[in-house]
Amino acid sequence: MTVTATSVDEPEQLEPQAAPASRGARRVRRLVPAAAATLSGVLLYVSFPPRTLWWLALPAFAVLGWALRDRTWKAGLGLGYLFGLGFLLPLLVWTGVEVGPGPWLALAVVEAVFVALVGAGIAMVSRLPAWPLWAAALWIAGEAARARAPFGGFPWGKIAFGQADGVFLPLAAAGGTPVLGFAVVLCGFGLYEIVRQVVDGRRTGVVRRGAAAVALLSVAVPVVGALAARSLVSDKAEDGTATVAVIQGNVPRSGLEFNAQRRAVLDHHARETERLAAKIKAGKVAKPDFVLWPENSSDIDPFTNPDARAVIDSAAKAVGVPISVGGVVERDGKLYNEQILWDPAKGALDTYDKRQVQPFGEYLPLRSLLGAINKNWTSMVRQDFSRGTEPGVFTMAGTKVGLATCYEAAFDWAVRDNITHGAQIISVPSNNATFDRSEMTYQQLAMSRVRAVEHSRTVTVPVTSGVSAVIMPDGKITQKTGMFVADSLVQKVPLRSSQTPATRLGILPEMVLVLVAAGGLGWSVAAVVRGRRNDPLQG
């Protein structure tokens, strides 16, 4: 009896000791992929400007590939969400500089949902042959969705926008931001697949040549494609040159309150233009063919306020050339964020109304709901801006200048539309005063560099207080200002009229990649259904 009792009791004593070890192992198995997904998202953020560590995007996606491969779609959903938060929370922190953490956190939490859905899809296709291809296409499909919804979309954080200093940049001229982003993501997943094939080969002693070839091609094709696309990048003048002046007038102080000092902001930009006129008269700089002011450089409507009109007119006469003025204009009871072509002799000749207005910044969706939550939010945007309907291409001293106002530079269609309407250079007038000294201005500057290569155009970036710059068609910055200083940039730039493949193809590369992603998902679902039919224990 004693022996029997002991033999029966022993398992009861050992079982409680084994259980915690098992639970601990399961916990580790869950936590390691979650930590890896989060940290790889942070790594992707570090690859973005103002840092020039573009190459960190590759190991970021390699680690994400490891975390997602062979997972269920539910696990992929959670891991993708953690990756999205790791990336977007630090990337978008500037959105809360003046309004507090609430809108910043809400934006990152919502945008990360798109990344979560992509993570679920990648987990599903990770069992397919050539899975890096399907996975990279899924990422671009996620970016395409994020650029369109909700409230008109939010493309900030596209992988392409982190590659202004990278070797893959020429691919922007071949197929735009979707092709550039696809190449980076494919290369990252391909790097992980190469490592996986090497490890599996050493463990099993078997080399799967087909899978190894796919892994190598996933890395080699984007790199070779980028090298080949360099022939599409040129800063040579096709239609002569133009001397352009970019004015950064600065603001009295940073923050949202600068809107209450509208006259001071206008005076700052007029004064800097007059300083430029004095430098021209003294022979210190060349006389420009035209001058570009930033967005919101005159928040006083010059069409209804004679004092604002007089200040702008005086500045234009002093410099003696046309000026593109960023104004806030009310017309027929509607408010517009407008660029105004101001001639020194004839006054206002043409206007461009911003078409892609910023939700929660220039208009408030769900205004009544937001007001119920926090009345301060609705008071910041008292009246919604209306959208323009026509592309903005000003003819300034014979040069066709395409206008993409601030937020519009993030949208593929908004910039391309200017080129197809004849723009020889692009101007991105912006106002970054509400974001203080955050990374926002550098992130936006990188977008403009990508756009320069994408469409092979000089891009000028006149900013109220951030970093104004002149960018050549090859994406190189030739001049730039400091932050929160009054300054002017004058430079002779090449005029170009030819269209890159990216310009001609437009949305087509993105559509193809979305179809590839859909094909991969369809194949994955079909494989699961076949597996259940063939296995009587399934489903």
What is the per-residue pLDDT across 379-393, written as a single tens digit (0 to 9) for each? 777 789 999 999 999
Mean pLDDT of 241-270: 80
Q: Which residues pair with 326 in a beta bridge?
A: 339
pLDDT top residue among 123 and 529? 123
pLDDT top residue among 321 and 369? 321
C-alpha span between 155 and 404 (Å, rounded): 15
C-alpha span between 460 and 441 (Å, rounded): 14
Residue 185 near residue 61 (C-beta atoms within 8 A): yes
Could you tell me the pLDDT band of residue 530, with boundaries at 50, 70 and 90? confident
336: part of which helix (H) or strand (E)? strand 334-343
C-alpha span between 62 and 188 (Å, rounded): 5
Could you tell me the pLDDT band of residue 259, with boundaries at 50, 70 and 90? very low
Look at 243-257, 304-318, 385-399 and tell me which has the smallest mean pLDDT. 243-257
Mean pLDDT of 33-60: 97
Phi, psi of 351, deg, nearest 5: -140, 155
Neighbours of 194 (CB within 10 A): 18
Phi, psi of 394, deg, nearest 5: -90, 140
Instruction: Report the alpha-carbon angle 507-510-512, nearest 5.
Output: 110
Mean pLDDT of 406-421: 97
C-alpha span between 437 and 467 (Å, rounded): 10
Number of H helices, E strands in the chain: 15, 12
Could you tell me the pLDDT band of residue 264, with boundaries at 50, 70 and 90? confident
Residue 164 near residue 49 (C-beta atoms within 8 A): yes
Residue 452 near residue 474 (C-beta atoms within 8 A): yes
Look at 167-171, 293-297, 526-530, 534-538 and tell me which has the smallest mean pLDDT. 534-538
Residue 41 in this model has a pLDDT that exceeds 70: yes
How much of the chain, in percent, has pLDDT values that exceed 70?
A: 92
- Residue partners of 302: CB distance under 8 A and separation at least 6: 308, 309, 312, 325, 327, 340, 348
Catalytic, 406? Answer: yes
Residue 242 in this model has a pLDDT that exceeds 50: yes
Neighbours of 422 (CB within 10 A): 12
Residue 14 in this model has a pLDDT that exceeds 70: no
Neighbours of 83 (CB within 10 A): 32
- Shortest CA distance to 144 belongs to which of 128, 131, 160? 160
Average pLDDT value for the chain: 91
Res 261: pLDDT: 65
Look at 5-14, 113-122, 485-494 and tell me which has the smallest mean pLDDT. 5-14
C-alpha span between 101 and 117 (Å, rounded): 25
Res 102: pLDDT: 85
Sign of CA dihedral 403, 364, 91, 55: negative
Which entry of 362, 406, 408, 439 is annotated as an active-site residue? 406
Instruction: Report the alpha-carbon angle 292-95-160, nearest 5.
Output: 70
C-alpha span between 211 and 485 (Å, rounded): 55
Q: How far apart are the first and last CA of the chain?
A: 48
Residue 149 in this model has a pLDDT that exceeds 70: yes
Q: Which residues pair with 28 in a beta bridge?
A: none
Residue 115 near residue 142 (C-beta atoms within 8 A): yes
Residue 9 in this model has a pLDDT that exceeds 50: no
Residue 258 in this model has a pLDDT that exceeds 80: no
Q: What is the DSSP letter of 357?
A: P
Q: How remote is the C-alpha of 463 from its chain's centroid?
A: 18
C-alpha span between 367 and 375 (Å, rounded): 10
Which entry of 295, 338, 408, 439 is annotated as an active-site residue? 295
Sign of CA dihedral 507, 88, 218, 53: positive
Highest mean pLDDT: which range of 2-11, 119-128, 429-438: 119-128
Catalytic, 281? Answer: no
Residues present in the chain in total: 539
Could you tell me the pLDDT band of residue 61, with boundaries at 50, 70 and 90? very high
- Shortest CA distance to 229 belongs to which of 186, 160, 159, 173? 173
Residue 103 in this model has a pLDDT that exceeds 90: no
Structure tokens, 150: 């909700």
pLDDT in tens, 506-523: 999 999 999 999 999 999
C-alpha span between 504 and 501 (Å, rounded): 5
pLDDT top residue among 256 and 533? 533
Residue 151 in this model has a pLDDT that exceeds 60: yes
- Residue partners of 205: CB distance under 8 A and separation at least 6: none
Could you tell me the pLDDT band of residue 12, with boundaries at 50, 70 and 90? very low
Could you tell me the pLDDT band of residue 20, with boundaries at 50, 70 and 90? low
Q: How far is CA 49 from CA 162, 255, 262, 267, 408, in A?
A: 6, 22, 30, 32, 19
Catalytic, 295? Answer: yes
Mean pLDDT of 2-14: 42
Could you tell me the pLDDT band of residue 534, with boundaries at 50, 70 and 90? low
Residue 82 in this model has a pLDDT that exceeds 60: yes
- Shortest CA distance to 261 belongs to which of 441, 464, 486? 464
C-alpha span between 304 and 163 (Å, rounded): 44
Which entry of 354, 400, 454, 510 is annotated as an active-site residue? 354
Residue 61 near residue 184 (C-beta atoms within 8 A): yes
Residue 502 in this model has a pLDDT that exceeds 90: yes
Residue 204 in this model has a pLDDT that exceeds 50: yes
